[in-house]
């Protein structure tokens, strides 16, 4: 749900320009990459909210149980994904990129085939592309830590075997591969800025920090 600020005539004019779109359904077919599927809630380990807020990487249990706050960036990213096929999500460390990517993947999986990739190589990317084209399934593909897998992303992008391709990484890691990313047609969305309303929601959701040990991010800088 998003706001439209206008008078009655402007609203009617806007509605008159909207083309009806049939609800998307998952295309029949099977992809032999279960490690990239969005897991069901009954298949993921349970953990407490404190683990997430102590600095641990987000888990699918966190995402399912709405432990992380759903910020305004979700709607903005959905708008961006609707506009273009290739989206690059960037931001500083601990800005919530991975959490946002997982939230988006779960949301889109309700009506589309979605794959969430944290580790891939060139050979596996080629196999994935062949399997998508053979099965007729064009998934939404989400790839985190994208700078580490830029050559695999090139293979996927060139194959056009997907419906949408959403990748993410920290600003300075993307800067290292900017010469390659710029040639692949990605539209960037940066989540460095957060609204006061979202800051308040996040602050209210944080448990008693005196009881939590804050750990540093484990990924090498």
pLDDT band at 110 (very low <50, low <70, confident <90, very high): very high
pLDDT greater than 80 at residue 209: no
For the stretch 70-104, pLDDT in tens is 999 999 999 999 999 999 999 999 899 999 999 99
Distance CA 53, CA 94 (A): 11
For the stretch 141-183, pLDDT in tens is 999 999 999 999 999 999 999 999 999 999 999 999 999 998 9
CA-closest candidate to residue 80, choices 200, 5, 11, 168: 168
CA-closest candidate to residue 198, choices 61, 76, 55: 76
Average pLDDT over residues 188-200: 92
Q: Are strands 187-190 and 86-91 parallel, antiparallel or unpaired?
A: parallel
* Higher per-residue pLDDT: 218 or 95: 95
């Amino acid at each position: 749900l998003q706001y439209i600020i206008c008078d009655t005539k402007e609203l009617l004019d806007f509605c008159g320009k909207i083309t009806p779109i049939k609800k998307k359904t998952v295309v029949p077919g099977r992809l032999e990459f279960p490690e990239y599927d969005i897991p069901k809630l009954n298949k993921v380990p349970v953990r407490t909210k404190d683990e997430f807020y102590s600095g641990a990487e987000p888990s699918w249990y966190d995402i399912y149980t709405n432990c992380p706050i759903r910020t305004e960036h979700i709607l903005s990213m959905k708008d961006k994904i609707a506009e273009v096929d290739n989206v690059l999500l960037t931001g500083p460390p601990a800005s919530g990129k991975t959490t946002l990517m997982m939230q988006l993947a779960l949301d889109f999986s309700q009506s589309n085939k979605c794959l969430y990739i944290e580790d891939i190589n060139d050979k596996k990317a080629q196999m994935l592309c062949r399997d998508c084209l053979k099965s007729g399934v064009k998934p939404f593909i989400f790839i985190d830590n994208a700078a580490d897998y830029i050559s695999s992303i090139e293979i996927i992008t060139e194959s056009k075997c997907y419906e949408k391709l959403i990748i993410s990484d920290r600003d300075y890691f993307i800067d290292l591969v900017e010469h390659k990313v710029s040639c692949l047609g990605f539209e960037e969305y940066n989540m460095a800025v957060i609204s006061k309303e979202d800051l308040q929601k996040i602050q209210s959701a944080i448990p008693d920090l005196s009881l939590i040990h804050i750990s540093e991010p484990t990924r090498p800088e």
